[in-house]
Amino acid sequence: MEALDIARWQFGITTVYHFFFVPVTIGLVFLVAMLQTAWHRTGNEKYLRLTRFYGKLFLINFALGIATGIVQEFQFGMNWSDYSRFVGDVFGAPLAIEGLLAFFLESTFLGLWIFGWDRLRPAVHLACIWLAAIGTVLSAYFILAANSFMQNPVGYRMNEESGRAELTDFWAVMTNKVVLVTFPHTIFACFMVGGAVVAGVGLWQMLRGARRDDEEEREAFRTAVRLGAVVLLVAGAGTMVSGDFQGKVMTEVQPMKMAAAEGLYEDEAPASFSLLTVGTLDGSEPLFEVKIPRLLSFLGTGTWDGEVRGIDSLQAEYEQRFGPGDYAPNIPVTYWTFRAMITAGGLAMVGGAWMLWATRRRRLPSLATWEGRWLLRTAVVLPFLPLAASSFGWIFTEMGRQPWVVFGLMETSAGVSPGVSAGEALTTLVGFTALYAALAVVEFRLLLTYIRKGLPDADPPELVDDPDAPLAFAY
Amino acid sequence: MELTTVWFVLIAVLWIGYLVLEGFDFGVGMLTAVLARDEKERRVLLNTIGPVWDGNEVWLIVAGGATFAAFPEWYATLFSGFYLPLFVILVALILRIVALEYRSKRPAMVWKRRCDVGILIGSVVPAVLWGVALANLVRGVPIDADKEFVGSVVDLLNPYALLGGLVTLSVFLVHGAVFVGLKTVGDIRERARVLALRVGVVAAVLATVFVVWTAGRDGDAVVWAAGAVAVACFAVGLAAASARREGWAFVGTALSIAAVVVMLFTALFPDVMVSSLDPAWSLTTTNAASTPYTLTIMTWVAAAFTPLVVGYQAWSYWVFRRRIGTHHIPDDVLAPTS
């Protein structure tokens, strides 16, 4: 493999891995904050116990999120130095601002939240988790604005002399039409993940938890299941609506990505949506294909008979604009990740709806019934569905941009670090992959341990005056 | 002052923030292996930095991001050139974060011992390598006319840079011990003071040699002055520690770290990375910088939000100002009792 391929695999692996922790963090921190708010408002200890239980899962996850996050910022310069030189003027600012505005907020107030139970007044302590939560979405906005520049460059001009992109309108970068649709889509998807984790873990506890016969504990988890499922469904609706807007913007600014998502070679008006294809996706006639007439026209253009451009005519147009080359992304990857995203997200919503139905009016199916057994399986799988959907969505959107690293301005092959040898790149690829795999095992087993423990005691925190009293929380 | 100079100064400030704050985190991490006598003492040490270490590390993230935004060429050359050392630093920092956060999550002593190894590696390795990296910036590395690093990792392991690594290692260890003296009660507080003084003598000698070597290469009066301030502050810090004035001791070691960064950045200016092949190929605050427009936007954002960040971070230190000792450490709730 060449250094370019190794660098691409490395970015793919480290980024996909990092983004397992991001949606869990963003989703869970808000749910934990909501649970703590409920305790603060009602004084009901069930909410405090849930806050502590899900808060622990959140923190176990957050640790790996920050650990893998440092690599994200460093690897632009390490593996993609020519890319960094080219876009640094535009792309660096949102990254720096993300650190200053969001990361300080998250880390400082999470430190206060974790260690501050007996040091801060309850209202101040509650404010800390909300400030950390706000930090996570601020962070998401800035990094998505940076990514959106790569999908749809705006607010810049090309400096012919230096060959670099230069920022001319920061506001345009921050209000890129792509970030305006990508941000809600991503955040709703994160809430789906948070809701699914809370609901899935809660339902498992109700059905199989060690203390499932403890009335109080089961009822607390019922609250969690229903809260999580509602968040999952509402966020799911939000993800669908924002995804629909996103499809239209994508058709406008990156028509090749939409064509690749569909394996659509010829321009079509009206265009039908391909549900699935058996056979090849290389433009020859497929063996078997299921299509929904006119749906693609609607998704892409908002009208039932709008024209959606195909790969062949876009390829011809891009050859004229950019010179000879292959301007189509990897069609099987884009086609199937797009479908896998929609399927996994849809299944998550079905699972969430079923959980709401199955736990209605204090009901709980017994494990002796088929319903109970399937519900248990759903509870175990549920958290992974929106997580997988998020991953597929990102693989789709990044692979669908290829061969460009910045659409229309710089090809990925031109962005790689010229001074980094294949051997060096391979060293870090193998090193990070091995380390990440080991950490995944450690983290997953730790999560399972804490999920199995069930609810901790409420242990309502009190402000301590005694300077010799033990710490409420200690490493 | 030109905006490029402003951002050169701001990046120096971010490095000062990072090294002063994370410096004692690294020191405390090393002390868990040499100062603590039992599990409770190890936990006392870890809890002195528990609420704050993550926020301290953000200074590094922001320093990296600010370099990317304000000096993209510097960021690109530095990060792709110092490729393998940065990889090692990243692995060490990841180990440290995970070990710190997960150590208390399982009761088994085997687990805690493994985490202790992670904390030790994650504290020693970056403490050395940041010194090596900063010294190499000043000393110069092979950079060609296209601003590309054309050397190998061997070029980075020269005597001057290795001395820089030993200086940061020993100074952070002393800084951490002084911090422990400031934040703990009981027997460990006194032992931290003794260790700070003993290692402090070695660190002072190493730092003095490094300062003379740096200033001697450069010859600039300001570099000499900053270096002298660094050594003087360090000596005052040690004297204060000896007199049991722990607050002043910490101010002394903190100021001396800050003064070393000032010295290195002053020696660099107006370069940001020196080419050892041809001075004309060095990266400078002008040829590595972003456009004035980008720098202006960044300046406004930094001016508006930096005071806020410093304010709430300082408040978090105030919240956790109380000294801790072994009697504050709750019995391990996870320990298998029945």
pLDDT digits (tens, 9 = 90+) for A74-87: 999 999 999 999 99
User: Could you tell me the CATH number of the domain that includes residue B266?
Assistant: 1.20.1630
Interface touch A74/B322, C-beta < 8 Å: no
A219 and A84 together in one domain: yes
pLDDT, position A156: 96
Residue type present at position A430: V
The residue of chain B with its CA nearest to that of A416 is: B80
What average pLDDT does the segment A313-335 reach?
93
Q: Quick check: is B326 in a domain?
A: no
Could you give the dihedral angle defined by the CA atoms of residues A435, A438, A441 and A445, in that order, rounded to the nearest 10 degrees?
Answer: -100
Instruction: State the total domains in chain B.
Output: 1
- A392, pLDDT greater than 60: yes
* Residue A45 and residue A187 in one domain: yes
User: A139 and A11 in one domain?
Assistant: yes
Q: Name the pLDDT band for A306 (thresholds 50, 70, 90).
A: confident
* Phi and psi torsions of B179, nearest 5°: -65, -40
Chosen from A68, A108, A128, A468 to mutate, greatest number of chain B CBs within 10 A: A108
Residue A284 has pLDDT above 60, yes or no: yes
Radius of gyration of chain A, Cα coordinates, nearest whole angstrom: 24
Q: Which of B78, B168, B161 is nearest to B123 (CA)?
A: B168
Task: Indicate whether B303 pLDDT > 50.
Answer: yes
Helix axes A122-151, A177-208, angle to 10 degrees: 130
Which residue from A259, A390, A415, A246 is spatially nearest to A329, judged by alpha carbons? A259
Domain check: are A288 and A374 in the same one? no
pLDDT greater than 90 at residue A399 = yes
d(CA B230, CA B234): 6
Indicate whether A149 belongs to any domain.
yes
Inside any domain, residue B210:
yes
Mean pLDDT of A176-193: 97
Q: What average pLDDT does this structure show over A13-29?
A: 96
Which residues 203-262 of chain A have a CB within 8 Å of chain B? none
* Residues of chain B contacting A447 with CB distance shorter than 8 Å: none
Whether the per-residue pLDDT at A464 is higher than 80: the answer is no
pLDDT in tens, B118-150: 999 999 999 999 999 999 999 999 999 999 999
Residue B333 counted as domain residue: no
Q: Which residue has the higher pLDDT, A293 or A417?
A: A417
Evaluate whether A139 touches A98 at the Cβ level (below 8 Å). yes
Provide the pLDDT for residue A271. Answer: 85
Q: How many CB atoms lie under 10 A from the CB of residue A232?
A: 33
**Residue A148 pLDDT greater than 50, yes or no:** yes
**Is B15 within a domain?**
yes
Q: Is B115 a domain residue?
A: yes
Residue A53 lies in a domain: yes
Question: Which pLDDT band, with edges at 50, 70 and 90, does B212 fall under?
Answer: very high
Query: What confidence tier does B333 reach under pLDDT thresholds 50, 70, 90?
Result: low
Please check whether residue B68 is in contact with residue A409, taking contact to mean a CB–CB distance below 8 angstroms: no
| Strand-pair partners of B149 | B143
> At residue A293, does pLDDT exceed 50?
yes
- Residue A299, pLDDT score: 83
Q: Considering only the beta carbons, identify the residue of B70, B83, B301 that sits closest to A78.
A: B83
Residue A239 falls inside a structural domain: yes
Domain of residue A304, residue span: 255-328
Q: Which two tokens stand for residue B101?
A: 């956060």
Q: Do A161 and A241 fall into the same domain?
A: yes
Report H helices in A359-421.
370-381, 384-399, 412-415
Share of chain B above pLDDT 90, in %: 92
Contact of A74 with chain B, judged by CB distance below 8 Å, is answered with: yes
> Which residue segment(s) compose the domain that B260 sits in?
3-318
Instruction: For residue A39, give the DSSP letter.
Output: H
B329 located within any domain? no
Percentage, residues of chain A above pLDDT 70: 99
pLDDT band at A283, cuts 50/70/90? low
Report chain B residues whose CB lies below 8 A from the CB of A52: none
The residue from A267, A295, A328 where one domain ends is A328
A292/A263 same-domain check: yes
User: pLDDT (tens digit, 9 = 90+) per residue, A199-212?
Assistant: 999 999 999 988 88
**Residue B183 placed within a domain:** yes
Average pLDDT for chain A:
93
> In degrees rounded to 5, what are phi and psi of residue A90?
-95, -45
pLDDT at res. B335: 55
- Is residue A57 assigned to a domain? yes
Q: In whole numbers, what is the pLDDT of chain B averaged over residues? A: 94
Q: What is the DSSP letter of B227?
A: H
Total number of domains constituting chain A: 2
Residue A173 maps to a domain: yes
Q: Which of A208-217, A231-240, A282-291, B278-287 has the lowest mean pLDDT?
A: A282-291
Judge whether residue B338 has pLDDT over 60. Answer: no
